[in-house]
């Protein structure tokens, strides 16, 4: 398949997953603050700043808003077009990518992206504030519907595998960030990184983390009602069967990469396969104690870095194809990492408007 088509499938999927995860963060934060209303209040900035930390966007946020509150953070993460990771930006970019390959995806997939885009154009900040639950539910459902439509109307060949890689790399990254932020919320800087004390507020916070991954019910089936941080981290990082755990997502991304290249265990054919295989193997033989020994925060940061490397290698292997006779692409220029509309498409926009007969 055309490298450009593969790349657009990849980014379409990635942006859609990112929008869903942002909706999850916001949804759970609202719930959490309502649960905690005895000891804090909905506008407690400490809780809202956490959501900005999730997206590593503190600087941009501070340049646009004066304070951290339900209103400003929701506006930034849902509506702000200057934030490339806001839900509205993600869905616009997912749609632009879909539009650029509209002949390659199923018309049902296009209709779903397009419908969500038009729905978002009609939503106002006021309506989200009045009924956040329904709004975030709508986004999550739209994402699930898109994945279901994709699975059932789009051939499970190479293109589908690129969609899977993107979805699971993005999801892994989001789970890691989410756990990491909880970690910041929990521990004051003075405390040791290996001791996590479970108070009642703490338990409610951990439950919120599980909920944002739709993992509370699945967790309870495994660990019954014993909600303690060790078990929660075990579940979210190391469980191999829950679809919103890190280990599951890495395995799924690895499977998709191997299907494309024909790699198998102990035999990789490119760097993307090698890096994802290494990550998967390590996760499979990691115990929670190993993570504590390294420090949870460091462990997650390292994981995020390694995911970036996998993404780069996917790009170099499949999207930025070149042969020795053809001038190699300048990597800086060739790496937009935003798919279609965020990067390189604009440079030729004016010429594309050429007159039509």
Which residues sit at the interface with other proteins, rule CB under 8 A? 1-6, 81, 92, 96, 99-104, 107, 110-111, 114, 118, 158, 260, 318-319, 321-323, 325-326, 340, 345, 347-349, 351-357
To other proteins, the closest distance from the beta carbon of 307 in angstroms equals: 21
- Tell me how far the alpha carbon of residue 82 is from its chain's centroid: 19
Shorter beta-carbon distance to other proteins: residue 204 or 329: 329
To other proteins, the closest distance from the beta carbon of 118 in angstroms equals: 8
CB 27 within 8 A of CB 45: no
CB 190 within 8 A of CB 303: no
To other proteins, the closest distance from the beta carbon of 87 in angstroms equals: 15
Shorter beta-carbon distance to other proteins: residue 6 or 246: 6
Half-sphere exposure of 157 (CA within 13 A, CB side): 6
To other proteins, the closest distance from the beta carbon of 250 in angstroms equals: 22
Question: In terms of DSSP H, where are the helices of 101-215?
Answer: 107-122, 125-130, 132-153, 158-186, 200-212
To other proteins, the closest distance from the beta carbon of 100 in angstroms equals: 5
Shorter beta-carbon distance to other proteins: residue 101 or 207: 101
To other proteins, the closest distance from the beta carbon of 226 in angstroms equals: 46
Provide CB contacts within 8 A for 259, sequence distance 6+: 158, 161
To other proteins, the closest distance from the beta carbon of 323 in angstroms equals: 6
Provide CB contacts within 8 A for 242, sequence distance 6+: 215, 218, 235, 248
Shorter beta-carbon distance to other proteins: residue 90 or 101: 101
To other proteins, the closest distance from the beta carbon of 178 in angstroms equals: 30
To other proteins, the closest distance from the beta carbon of 352 in angstroms equals: 4
**167: nearest Cα among 271, 11, 310:** 11
**320: nearest Cα among 249, 270, 277:** 270
Rg (CA), the chain: 21
Q: Which two tokens stand for residue 117?
A: 């885009």
Shorter beta-carbon distance to other proteins: residue 12 or 208: 12
Shorter beta-carbon distance to other proteins: residue 225 or 356: 356
Instruction: State the Cα–Cα distance between residues 80 and 25, nearest whole angstrom.
Output: 16
**70: nearest Cα among 126, 16, 123, 134:** 126
Shorter beta-carbon distance to other proteins: residue 195 or 325: 325
Provide CB contacts within 8 A for 157, sequence distance 6+: none
Alpha carbon of 76 to those of 25, 50, 59, 116, 222: distances in Å? 13, 13, 12, 19, 36
CB 209 within 8 A of CB 244: no
To other proteins, the closest distance from the beta carbon of 80 in angstroms equals: 13
Shorter beta-carbon distance to other proteins: residue 92 or 247: 92
Strand partners, 267: 264
- Tokens 């963060």 sit on residue: 25
């Amino acid at each position: 398949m055309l490298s450009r088509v593969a790349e657009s499938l990849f980014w379409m999927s990635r942006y859609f997953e990112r929008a869903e995860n942002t909706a999850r963060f916001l949804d759970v934060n609202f719930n959490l603050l309502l649960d905690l209303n005895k000891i804090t209040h909905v506008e407690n900035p400490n809780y809202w700043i956490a959501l900005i930390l999730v997206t590593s966007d503190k600087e941009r946020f501070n340049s646009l808003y004066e304070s951290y509150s339900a209103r400003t953070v929701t506006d930034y993460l849902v509506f702000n077009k200057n934030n490339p990771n806001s839900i509205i930006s993600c869905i616009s970019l997912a749609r632009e990518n879909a539009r650029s390959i509209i002949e390659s995806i199923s018309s049902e997939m296009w209709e779903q992206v397009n419908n969500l885009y038009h729905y978002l154009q009609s939503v106002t900040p006021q309506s989200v504030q009045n009924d956040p639950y329904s709004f975030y539910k709508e986004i999550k459902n739209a994402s699930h519907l898109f994945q279901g439509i994709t699975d059932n109307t789009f051939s499970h060949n190479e293109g589908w595998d690129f969609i899977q890689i993107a979805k699971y790399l993005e999801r892994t990254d989001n789970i890691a960030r989410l756990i990491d932020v909880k970690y910041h919320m929990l521990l004051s800087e003075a405390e040791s990184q290996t001791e996590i004390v479970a108070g009642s507020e703490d338990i409610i916070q951990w439950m919120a983390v599980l909920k944002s991954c739709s993992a509370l019910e699945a967790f309870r089936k495994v660990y019954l009602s014993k909600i303690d941080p060790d078990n929660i981290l075990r579940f979210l990082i190391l469980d191999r069967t829950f679809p919103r755990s890190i280990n599951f997502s890495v395995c799924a991304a690895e499977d998709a990469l191997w299907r494309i290249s024909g790699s198998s265990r102990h035999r990789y054919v490119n760097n993307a396969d090698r890096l994802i295989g290494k990550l998967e193997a390590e996760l499979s033989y990691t115990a929670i104690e190993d993570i504590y020994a390294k420090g949870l925060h460091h462990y997650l940061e390292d994981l995020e870095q390694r995911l970036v490397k996998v993404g780069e290698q996917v790009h170099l292997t499949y999207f930025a194809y070149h042969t020795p006779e053809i001038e190699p692409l300048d990597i800086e220029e060739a790496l937009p990492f935003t798919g279609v509309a965020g990067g390189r498409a604009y440079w030729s926009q004016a010429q594309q408007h050429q007159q039509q007969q």
